[in-house]
Amino acid sequence: MSRGKFYHPEIERMSRKALRDLQNRRLRWQVRRCLAKSEFYREKFKKAGIKASHIKTVDDLVHIPVVTKQELREEQVKHPPFGRYTVAPSKDWRELHPSTGTTGTPVNTIWSERDVENITEVTARTMWSFGVRPGDIIQNGFSYGLWVAGMSTHYAGERIGGLVIPIGASMTGRQVEYMLNPGSTVLLSTPSFALHIAENLRERGVSPEQLPLRLGCFGGEGGTETQATRRKIEEGLGIDAYDYYGLAEIGPTFASECTAKAGLHLAEDHYLIEILNPDTEERCAEGEMGVLVITHLSREATPMLRYWTNDYARLDTSRCSCGRTHGRAIGGILGRADDMVIYRGAKFYPVQVEKVVRSYREVGDEFLIELTRDESSYTDVCTVVCECLSADTDRASLEQRLRKDLREELLVTPEIRIEPFGTLERTTFKAKRILDKRPK
Amino acid sequence: MSRGKFYHPEIERMSRKALRDLQNRRLRWQVRRCLAKSEFYREKFKKAGIKASHIKTVDDLVHIPVVTKQELREEQVKHPPFGRYTVAPSKDWRELHPSTGTTGTPVNTIWSERDVENITEVTARTMWSFGVRPGDIIQNGFSYGLWVAGMSTHYAGERIGGLVIPIGASMTGRQVEYMLNPGSTVLLSTPSFALHIAENLRERGVSPEQLPLRLGCFGGEGGTETQATRRKIEEGLGIDAYDYYGLAEIGPTFASECTAKAGLHLAEDHYLIEILNPDTEERCAEGEMGVLVITHLSREATPMLRYWTNDYARLDTSRCSCGRTHGRAIGGILGRADDMVIYRGAKFYPVQVEKVVRSYREVGDEFLIELTRDESSYTDVCTVVCECLSADTDRASLEQRLRKDLREELLVTPEIRIEPFGTLERTTFKAKRILDKRPK
């Protein structure tokens, strides 16, 4: 196992031209092996009327139909247990991980031995890029076990040469105790759990200055890309906070900000990035918002060719001020296609509500978008529920200001409901921000 | 990383004489480094009036005072965060694991990089010895994260070349689903969780023959060493069940049965075993029951010299029918010193109650030993609570038979209380068998 510095200028600063050459080579290898071993991909190619020889470069990718999560789910049901898209021989399989699957049965993903190695390498690289170093005490508040982020960051934290506290996404009180003793220097978790820990610190009267904690990275759900949320985490824990991205089917943790905080660097030597127009599936121009579609360039066991993530992003491939040339998702993940709220003709995402709510000092970090049906008028009602930190606040004025700021952000005016602090559910995992109570 | 066969005859079948020579060498190395780096051990040696040069062989160990868990706890409180018994330099530290600590604050143990490697090697060896092989689908139902067994068996399962399902000690329904699809071949968990899973199978009407499950190993609490419990697990899951042993301060999983099921083989090249008389702390003769005391021969980060496990065992160093020469704890762990119940002049352990309760077909697997005080007579009352599987059972006759069998086993007669099935708490972790309700 390689140790030491996890910054590889020869890869992370390579010219876009050289990177594209590497991607083309790896893509041809991946397409060949997928077609040789996977009936799933063979069918897909046949249906589209294409052959392996048609895919010579990244530009030829557009001929391959995208893969959706629903398609993987159906494939696994029809061809149990893993569908017909496992490509590495089963003797090389090492770990099984399901998607967290908030809807439907989870999709099982497999990591081969080399996949574990590559995942560890890429994760160590992302962690290095935002400043994790040998000797750091890394409090790993991502869930362990079946969920992907806990394991990958655990492996990477050790690989970098840190001391990992494998605490997982629970036990807030104990999280705080470890921050005080032995005194973790790095925290990894979801942003909502980080806010929850910060809340616990405040309740105990522990000031962030008392903590050796230096930085944290937060992913698994939206939050860190929102400046207001990031500031709350940074002030609440007294740290630098970085945004982190991954998803079970693709890679647990293959994208993160560097210390420049200038967008999520995507590990483009292992993951080929496309941004597609959600309606036409055509490629977006650089900087244009669209759906992130990812192709595995090195994944062995369950490789994805053009996986439709359902996440919105804008790509920037200009060199970052840190010197890295791999593309960045500017502003992080900008929303999820299935998290979109359609309300009175306007479309918006929870992340936009978050941005507004968390810019208020007198309002708690939790919020909920409640959708109900007004049976008398047959119209939908969208209510933003949030918490008031103090009982002394003038609620009428607060409601008025929130309504105005939300209208500006969402281009539509939701109802506002302000509850006492502590009313909304706290979660240590992925916070659910939309509660749809409309009759089905 | 070495792969392939995890049976090393040159180590596991070495002569007792060669093993003793190896232990003597490793012991001298360990004592020297502990005294060079640890103020904790220096003080201990000074108090006992001994020097490193006095410890030449395993026989000289008797001069070193034992280390208790309470002592480690106090040391960590007095000298935070880890006490003064960390020996490897902090740059080599990789994982922090606390004891599960049912009483008092947990004791933090550290694994260095080499410790992780040795733990993985020894665990892979134990898993190989009861029949885990490359290609096995290993459902890891031990808790992940801070708890030790999940991580060590995860590492070892991958090292052997299996596919690990890192499910952890929860989600009974999902455990059953994975047993059906993809069809795990190996289950690792606590014995009580295994019984709980078997119960769930029965409730779903799934017969063990439908499962590809082949074998399981069960540790983290007593159970598997009891023939009645083992039989229930084996029949309930349709497998061969093996006993497994470890503890946070010493090693997560360093002892297991081989396929001969002739006692727990202890990895004596890494762990030096002594059996001491609990009253005099003198060494017991071979085969005599006493407290297991363990010295780390290779552990780097937080090495233990003579750790008093509080667990009772009998050691047999004769060659096993499998050919291995490393000593075996015959009959497994025979009880815990702090689990001992003193009742009307008799001493007994929960494992003895378990043995009786689980020999009854009409009684559930869960049981509880309840201690109360009869305030009128100032006497203690010990009640064994268990569950009746069917409402049709003749409770009076069942009570009578249970009382008689318990009297024979415990040499004292407890009260019996039979509850309806499902009354007692199910746990996925370590079952608590003694409920002491006496006024303190």
* Per-residue pLDDT reduced to its tens digit, B43-81: 999 999 999 999 999 999 999 999 998 899 999 999 999
Residue A326 and residue A376 in one domain: no
Which residues of chain B lie closer than 8 angstroms to A109, CB-CB?
none
Mutate to test the interface with B, among A94, A110, A148 (most CBs of B within 10 A): A94
The boundaries of the domain holding residue A393 are 340-436
Of B310, B336, B362, the residue at which a domain comes to its end is B336
The tokens for B176 are 């059953």
Determine the longest span between alpha carbons in chain A, in angstroms.
70
CA distance B154 to chain A (A): 9
B159: CATH:
3.40.50.12780
pLDDT for B1 equals 42
The pLDDT tens digits for A138-172 are 999 999 999 999 999 999 999 999 999 999 998 89
Residue contact A163–B135, C-beta within 8 A = no
Residue B285 and residue B421 in one domain: no
Beta-carbon count within 10 A of B163 CB: 26
- Select from B96, B158, B182 the Cβ nearest to the Cβ of A163: B96
Residue A350 and residue A320 in one domain: no
- Select from B94, B135, B166 the Cβ nearest to the Cβ of A164: B94
A366: CATH:
3.30.300.30
Exposure of B378 by Cβ count < 10 A (0-12 exposed, 13-18 middle, 19+ buried)? exposed
CA distance B164 to chain A (A): 5
Residue contact A144–B165, C-beta within 8 A = no
Residue B359 and residue B277 in one domain: no
HEC letters along B237-275: HCCEEEEEEEECCCEEEEEECCCCCCCEEECCCCEEEEE
pLDDT for A430 equals 61
Residue B192 and residue B279 in one domain: yes
Which residues of chain A lie closer than 8 angstroms to B156, CB-CB?
none
Residue B84 and residue B137 in one domain: yes
Q: Using an 8 Å Cβ cutoff, are B216 and B84 in contact? A: no
pLDDT for A390 equals 85
pLDDT for A101 equals 54
> First vs last Cα of chain B: how many Å apart?
53
Residue A388 and residue A325 in one domain: no
Residues of chain A short of pLDDT 70, as ranges, are 1-4, 100-104, 428-431, 440
Residue A63 and residue A192 in one domain: yes
The answer, yes or no, to whether the previous bond of B182 is cis (omega within 30 of 0) is yes
The tokens for B102 are 């049912």
Q: What is the β-pairing status of strands A240-247 and A251-256? A: antiparallel
pLDDT for A154 equals 98
Report how far apart, in Å, the C-alpha atoms of A91 and of each of A67, A198, A265, A401 are.
Answer: 26, 45, 33, 61
> First vs last Cα of chain A: how many Å apart?
53
Of B274, B309, B336, the residue at which a domain comes to its end is B336
Residue A191 and residue A155 in one domain: yes
Please provide residue A84's backbone torsions phi and psi, each rounded to the nearest 5 degrees: -105, 30
Residue contact B96–A164, C-beta within 8 A = yes
pLDDT for A1 equals 42
Q: Using an 8 Å Cβ cutoff, are B77 and B89 in contact? A: no
Residues paired with residue B164 on neighbouring β-strands, in sequence order = A95, B138
- Helix, coil or strand: residue A436: strand
Residue A431 and residue A288 in one domain: no
pLDDT for B2 equals 46
Which residues of chain A lie closer than 8 angstroms to B183, CB-CB?
81
- When pLDDT is cut at 50, 70 and 90, the band that residue B32 belongs to is very high
Q: How many domains does chain B have?
A: 2
For residue B142, pLDDT over 90 is answered with: yes
- Choose among A239, A266, A394: nearest CA to A326: A266
For residue B264, pLDDT over 70 is answered with: yes
Q: Is B180 on the interface with A (CB under 8 A)?
A: no
Q: Which residues of B339-356 are buried (b: 16+ CB within 10 A; e: fewer)?
A: bbbebeeeebbbbbbbbb
Residue A233 and residue A382 in one domain: no
What gap in Å lies between CA B164 and CA A181, rounded to an integer? 33
pLDDT for A2 equals 45
Residue contact A90–B163, C-beta within 8 A = yes
Exposure of A407 by Cβ count < 10 A (0-12 exposed, 13-18 middle, 19+ buried)? middle
Residue contact B163–A82, C-beta within 8 A = no
Q: Which residues of B246-271 are buried (b: 16+ CB within 10 A; e: fewer)?
A: bbbbbbbbbbbbbeeebbbbbbbbbb
Of A289, A308, A337, the residue at which a domain comes to its end is A337
Average pLDDT over residues B330-348: 82
Residue contact B166–A183, C-beta within 8 A = no
Contacts for B347 with CB less than 8 Å, ≥ 6 apart: B340, B341
Residue B332 and residue B376 in one domain: no
Q: Is A350 on the interface with B (CB under 8 A)?
A: no
Q: Is B101 on the interface with A (CB under 8 A)?
A: no
Q: Using an 8 Å Cβ cutoff, are A112 and A119 in contact? A: no
- When pLDDT is cut at 50, 70 and 90, the band that residue B344 belongs to is confident
pLDDT for B148 equals 92
Q: Is A151 on the interface with B (CB under 8 A)?
A: yes
